[in-house]
Amino acid sequence: MKKVSQIFQKARKERRKHLLEPEAKAVCIEYEIPVTKFRVAKNAEEAVRFAEEMGYPVVLKIVSPDIIHKFDVGGVVLNLKSSEEVKDSYKRMMMKVKQHKPDAKIVGVLVQEMIPATTEIIVGATKDSQFGPALMFGLGGIFVEVLKDVSFRIAPITRSEAQEM
């Protein structure tokens, strides 16, 4: 769990309220929660190489501490099936993101395997000044903004409370 502690310490040091997606995935891996295969690319050529290594189709997602809702700024491209699509999409994504958020710090682009259509979820944690640590769970992706269907519980929670969420 040393790695988890280091991830949270880094985020706190940088005064971030959210983990970057690769950091959140790394925390999940440490707790043996399955995640999609992923790598963070620094340029289009690296994105193509990572996609080739993990196999198509893939998804590209912008990685930035300044961009929480990636979809809103053109920072998500789904179902890419070739090296040409990855290369072109990487370049287009970077242009769109820079147009929408010119001052955003870009860490890289997440290249991850595309899995069959499933339900996206959002999981979060916060520390309330009155109640202490709290957990959040709900529909993710664009649905978290549209439906606002999230549930909060004061930590720690039981398995049955987690299932209710």
Domains in the chain, start-ordered, CATH in brackets? Answer: 1-35 (no CATH), 38-116 (3.30.1490.20), 121-164 (no CATH)
* pLDDT at site 123: 81
pLDDT of residue 49: 99
- The mean pLDDT of 16-36, rounded to a whole number, is 92
pLDDT digits (tens, 9 = 90+) for 149-159: 888 888 888 88
Taking residues 93-117, report their average pLDDT: 96
The CB density around residue 58, as the number of other CB atoms within 10 Å, is: 29
Question: pLDDT value at position 150?
Answer: 86
What backbone torsions phi and psi does residue 110 show, to the nearest 5 degrees? Answer: -75, 125
Look at the alpha carbons of 5, 10, 16, 21 in this order and tell me if their dihedral is positive or negative: negative
